[in-house]
Chains A and B, each alone.
Chain A
Amino acid sequence: MSRILDLVDAADPAVIAVVGCGKNTGKTTTLNALIQGCTDRGERVGILSIGIDGEEADFWLGVPKPRVLAPAGTLLATAEEALRAGTARSRVLEGTGGRTLLGELVIGEVVEAGTVLLAGVRSRRDLAGAASRMRRLGARRVFLDGAWQRTMAADPRVADAVILATGAVLGRTCEEVAARTREVLDRLMLPMTDREDLRRAARRETGDPEESDESLEATLEPVTDRNPRKAAAPGTIEGPDLAPGVAVTGALTVDRMAALAQRVGTPGEVVARDPTRVFLGPPDLDRWRRRGIVVRVADRAPVLGVTVNPYSVLGWTLPAADLREAVARVAAPIPALVLDPPT
């Protein structure tokens, strides 16, 4: 349990995103280890989820899930009705004004320890707003729980760091799990550009954190042409034709990459805002790399470590030590660790 705190202490981030390589890879177990570890040493923590977490059973498979365990004093951002769903007794500290299907998104405080249900956060804007409210209300650290393999919480404008959860559910062999983990890590650890002009241009979409989010709509250019070769809209590109690099706002998808590559000389680079904006698989990235065009990012949240869950909810278990080693090999120098199984 203590090793996960070593990861936290090394970088001392205030906001940590727990991102999964897939569903049932151990995000909740990782979250619980972080909550418990930090609380035990007197740190007040805040928690929230970009999906729903803390339910008794997996919605899809119907199998029991680890519950989110919150000690007294924990802050949580959740929908008002969800506050009543766990065994923990909580009180509302303040509303956020965000409207959800389960009532207002509120910041609560656990008064009596127990299980909690985290729900109601829909967008990055909700996430950033709730995290900052909890920090203001005294949370030393805020943990953002992911959903499925979604990466939104790893947005560096929201999270200072990422812990990745991987597990046996991704494959029947240690090597298969390690390979899938590597794919996610490759995305989260996309190289950062050295060029300040491209970094600034890629950030332009929403501005730096201190800038207003009002620029969000204004700088998004729709990509409307069905022909992907013509699909890069003017205004999404910085620099002249055949520039050594271009910056892209919004999502970098397969078609947009193909269109942008027409404007980049080789060797060259395409720079996205951060890894959560890049929707290219390993084969796509490899293909462009071989052609001399590298995808880089303006910013990214560092990955502190990988937690490894040897138990698959689908019914098999991989040897914990072997799986950890296989993951550690592909993740190096990022450390990999096996957490205690949920009790």
Chain B
Amino acid sequence: MNRPELAVVPGVDLQQVRPYGDTLGDGVVQVSFSLPLPACPEAEEAARQLALRMGLEEPQVYHRADLGYGFSFYILYGRCRHAVDVTRTLVPRVQALEASFEEINERLLRVAGRPLRVVGACTGSDAHTVGIDAILNMKGFAGEYGLERYPALRVRNLGAQVTNERLLHEVQATDADVVLVSQVVTQKDVHLSNLAEWVDLVEAAGLRDRLLMACGGPRIRHETALELGFDAGFGPGTTPRQVAAWILSEWERRHPPA
């Protein structure tokens, strides 16, 4: 696969990309961690051995600090033996145009002919509404208006701990065009299972083809969302305008001019 956009630094072999320390391809990396041991030569040797077991060659401790209460902190350098072929690495991105608040509203109203209906919720047992509120609430986030402020969108925020079934009811009752689901995903995957069930539920109700569906949260990646069956996934730092631009792009993609 030819990836000219990645070939910025002269002399880099895109099929053998290694970390860079002093010279290209030397594989030098820095790692840091704490140990539940007081700062002493034995603890430093333990840190070095841990780096070896991580697969680093020639690990050296460059910094050691006593954290108190029997803990210590280490910074090590070492050589990573591995390389990555980025010419065969595919990372799906949310594809959305760069557009202003005004442009998004104007284009959405023009292409859809009406305001789109958006339903958002934190589903399952999730009570963390910070993310969905930042995107939906009129006051917005990071200096941008929330989706409630967009004249081209009619937003209904269902809040926290919404069951998939209730969300489906609201989607049907409001004849929604867009569903935004927020989840703080736990390590035990419970919330991801809930997202997977939502996609199956929408399909079973016969609504999947006409709904734009995105999920978001601090541990959601776009790839995860696609794997689960959503159309897009938004991670930390996403702003309302990015979500609105995605809605516009996705709507235009699905409704090309005749």
Contact = CB atoms under 8 A, between A and B. Distances in A.
B67 interface: no
Contacts of B139: none
Interface in A201-221: 205-206, 216-217, 220
A150 to B, nearest CB: 5
A147 interface: yes
A250 B254 contact: no
B253 A99 contact: yes
Contacts of B203: 123-124, 152, 276
Given A84-B1, A101-B92, A251 B229 contact: no
Nearest to B249: A101
A222 B205 CA distance: 9
From B164, B175, B204, B205, name the one whose CB has the most chain A CB atoms within 10 angstroms: B204
B95 A50 contact: no
Interface stretch (B26-34, B140-148, B194-202): B194-202
B209 A125 contact: yes
Given A101-B92, A206-B206, A59 B196 contact: no
A91 interface: no
A23 B187 CA distance: 13
A86 B88 contact: yes
Most interface-central of B89, B90, B164, B206 (chain A CB within 10 A):
B206
B200 A152 contact: yes
A147 B168 contact: no
Contacts of A251: 168, 201, 204-205
A59 B221 CA distance: 8
A22 B92 CA distance: 23
A2 interface: no
Contact of A60 (B93, B168, B192, B226): B192
Contact of B208 (A99, A123, A147, A224): A123
Contact of B197 (A60, A220, A279): A279
A253 B206 contact: no
A321 interface: no
A242 interface: no
B54 to A, nearest CB: 14
Report which residue of A217, A251, A254, A276 has the largest number of chain B beta carbons within 10 angstroms of its beta carbon.
A251
B224 interface: yes
Given A59-B223, A60-B224, A81-B90, A253 B165 contact: yes
A85 B90 contact: yes
B172 interface: yes
B208 A255 contact: no
A87 interface: yes
A224 B173 contact: yes
B228 interface: yes
A339 interface: no
B227 interface: yes
Interface of A: 22-23, 50-52, 55, 59-60, 81-82, 84-87, 99, 101-102, 117, 119, 122-125, 147-152, 205-206, 216-217, 220, 222-224, 226, 231, 250-251, 253-255, 276-277, 279
Interface of B: 1, 88-90, 92-95, 164-165, 168-169, 172-173, 175, 189, 192-193, 196-197, 199-201, 203-209, 221, 223-224, 226-229, 231-232, 253-254
Shortest Cβ-Cβ A-B pairs, 7 listed? A222-B172, A251-B204, A85-B90, A148-B196, A224-B173, A51-B227, A123-B208
